[in-house]
Structure 1
Amino acid sequence: MFTTRRTWRCALAVLGTAAVIASTPAPALAASSSPWIAYNGTSVNNARVPASTIDMTTRSPKAFDTVTYVVSGKVVSATAKAAQLADGDWAATTSVDLSGFAGRISLTAKMVSGKSSSSVAKSLRVVDPSTNLGSGNGATVDRPTRTARAQYSDGRPNAFTTGLRGGAPARSQTGDLTITADGTVIDGVLINGCLVVKASNVTIRNSKVVCNRKGRQLAINVADGAKNLVIEDSEIDATGTDVGIGWGNYTLRRVNLHGSADGARWGTNVTIEDSWIHDMSREDSLHSDAMQTTSGANVVIRHNTLDPSNNGDPLNSAIMIGTETGQQSLKNVLIEKNFLGGGSYTVNIRSDANISGLVVKGNTFDDNSRYGAIVAPTGKDIVFTGNVLGWTGAAVTIDPR
């Protein structure tokens, strides 16, 4: 299903209700019409369950004596005896050891009744036991100087390695700003307004843009004809806007971008590196991505932390890729060495995308999406290599469209 908002709004990826790993007591289960497996009172079918030892219950309207759980031919539980419940169902609960598993698996409950046996199999997703939906941990943090902050970083761009170089900007300006002079340099300025760049070779560093304008399309608008905009060591607070920055001919380095529905929209000639794009907002009729493209060329997305999640809502994707506008193609794009998380799928590539030369390599995925790390069409000019789950180091599974 697709939706539009303004002529540039692109496809809405499928969303669903987030499954939450809970440790609260399991609620009472309703009588069943067919055998099923439950974890924490909820069916495990297509659910997220932790990679640890957990209690699971098999229920059936037909009598059975015992149940044992199996994954890929390996027995992962002790045999548990069944008992009849007050509602007439038969049920058995036992501990199932899923430690060591990751990603999608098929779990089979083998039920024995006398000399006969039957089974029920369910597909589920085994996830990091410590994962939480929404990995953003705050928007603005006063950052130490560059020489003193290495101790705060685990290798991924975060609040201590992106944004202002320490302390508040020395100067401030209130009101929207339009830059028209080529070669303009803005250094150490708090801009309480939205920004339009109509000139080339503009540099913005050690500054903060606060564009909290509900319904505004772009917090930073790189206008047609402007080239070589560079924003570095800066923060973009785009809360309330549709998009943090767009569309082409810009570079972000060590930028902390947050609050908008879409973080960075990119088209042609874009480089985003060592930046943190996070805590996107959910807006009516919009989906929310840390970054998105609807066509483009000559793009490098390198060593960023990208996660749209906000307050337990994983939102749409860290990277959403399509080619439904403009030149309707994507050429020469490299996405490498990023830390990616959140979304229904963390990386979501449309089935109708016209792609020539997309490389997705060496990225590390958090396990806090709804459905999986990557969904992508087959038969396209896309190279996936070296992408891993951060908590296990296992290779990322690509779900086909």
Structure 2
Amino acid sequence: MTAVHFRTATAGATTTGVPSGTALTVHSGDLTITKAGTIVSGLDIRGLVKIQAANVTIKNSIVRGRTMNAPGALINNLGGFSGLKITDTELYPSNPSPDVNGIYGYNFTATRVEIHGVIDAVHITGSNVTIQQSWLHSNLHYTNDPNQGGSASHDDSIQIQKGSNIRVIGNTISGAHSAGVQITQDRGDVSNFTFTNNNADGGKCTINIAQKTYGPIYGAVITDNKFGRNTRVVNCAIISPSTTKISTARNYYTPDSKIVSVHTG
């Protein structure tokens, strides 16, 4: 077979999270950011972060969370405040539970971020999201999850409920039981979704697109990725209704370089 010449992600332990040698200052308790343009750097945050201002930057930090009694996120931008940047940061809960997730919201860019030990690493509820050069791995999974009525956890590396202009580029994604990327359209239309130059694996199928009541997803591009075979459905890198037309090219399985096809479902 002809060799694959495109470059895919190498994001991992040495390229994501807090840079080696960074001195961290402990911040005890939740951190609510209300001043526009705030830069948070070099913190070890023993609580949850809530964004309530535009153009916030979180970098060179770790967010560990706290004990939770309802579903929530280590970083919460459900208000969709624009210009949020999360860079060279690790999200890893000190108190793992079925309630803890990584990032919630929209209008943010995550670069070289490591997220692990949570249910959903990234939960997108609106537009203008970029996840790049990051490492999403080792999701929490419970066979009896109280948030699922006692059934198994629906843990995803990335779940997209609504939004346009969502870009997933150059990441390493693995370790979810449900899906590496789950597009649900639970809250509204999803469009202009780009998934390229990633190493992706895991889930029942690694990318699972559901239309629900909102109809086809327009502008879906899935190109130049390497997919693993550790899926619960055999050889199921991508599953999508036939009415959603996906631009696909140069997607291969690793390590055998066989071409990925889209399952209809």
Normalised by the size of structure 1, how large is the TM-score? 0.58
Q: What are the equivalent positions in structure 2 for 1:127-142 lying under 5 Å apart?
A: none
SS at match of 1:355: coil
Aligned counterpart for 1:344 among listed residues 204, 207, 210: 204
2:44 paired with 1:198: no
Aligned counterpart for 1:301 among listed residues 162, 165, 168: 168
Spell out structure 1 runs of 4+ moving beyond 4 A: none
2:80 paired with 1:222: no
2:114 paired with 1:265: no
Amino acid at match of 2:133: D
Amino acid at match of 1:400: T
Deviation of the 1:382 alpha carbon: 2.0
Deviation of the 1:295 alpha carbon: 1.2
Alpha-carbon distance in 2 for matches of 1:365, 1:213 = 35
Amino acid at match of 1:271: T
Q: What are the equivalent positions in structure 2 for 1:1-400 lying under 5 Å apart?
A: 155-167=9-21, 169-214=23-68, 215-238=70-93, 239-240=96-97, 241-266=99-124, 267-283=126-142, 284=145, 285=148, 286-309=153-176, 315-325=177-187, 328-352=188-212, 353-371=215-233, 372-400=236-264
Q: Give the conservation status (yes or no) of the 8 Å contact 1:212–1:237.
A: no
Amino acid at match of 1:355: I
Gaps of 5+ in 2: 2-7
SS at match of 1:204: strand
Gaps of 5+ in 1: 1-99, 101-153, 310-314
Deviation of the 1:213 alpha carbon: 3.1
Amino acid at match of 2:205: Y
Tell me the matched-pair count: 242
Alpha-carbon distance in 1 for matches of 2:204, 2:15 = 27
Alpha-carbon distance in 1 for matches of 2:90, 2:179 = 21
SS at match of 1:262: coil
Q: Give the conservation status (yes or no) of the 8 Å contact 1:169–1:208.
A: no
Amino acid at match of 1:366: G
**Structure 1 residues 379 and 155, CA gap change in structure 2 (3 angstroms):** closer
Q: Give the conservation status (yes or no) of the 8 Å contact 2:136–2:173.
A: yes
Amino acid at match of 1:358: A
Deviation of the 1:212 alpha carbon: 4.1
Alpha-carbon distance in 2 for matches of 1:155, 1:348 = 20
SS at match of 2:16: coil
**Structure 1 residues 373 and 247, CA gap change in structure 2 (3 angstroms):** same
Of Structure 1 and Structure 2, the greater strand share is in 1
Q: Give the conservation status (yes or no) of the 8 Å contact 1:169–1:206.
A: no
Q: Give the conservation status (yes or no) of the 8 Å contact 1:245–1:264.
A: yes
Deviation of the 1:232 alpha carbon: 0.5
Identity of aligned residues (%): 32
Q: Deviations over 1:233-253 (max 9, x none)?
A: 110114334421011011100
Moved more, 166-175 or 295-304: 166-175
**Structure 1 residues 297 and 265, CA gap change in structure 2 (3 angstroms):** same
Deviation of the 1:163 alpha carbon: 0.4
Amino acid at match of 1:270: V
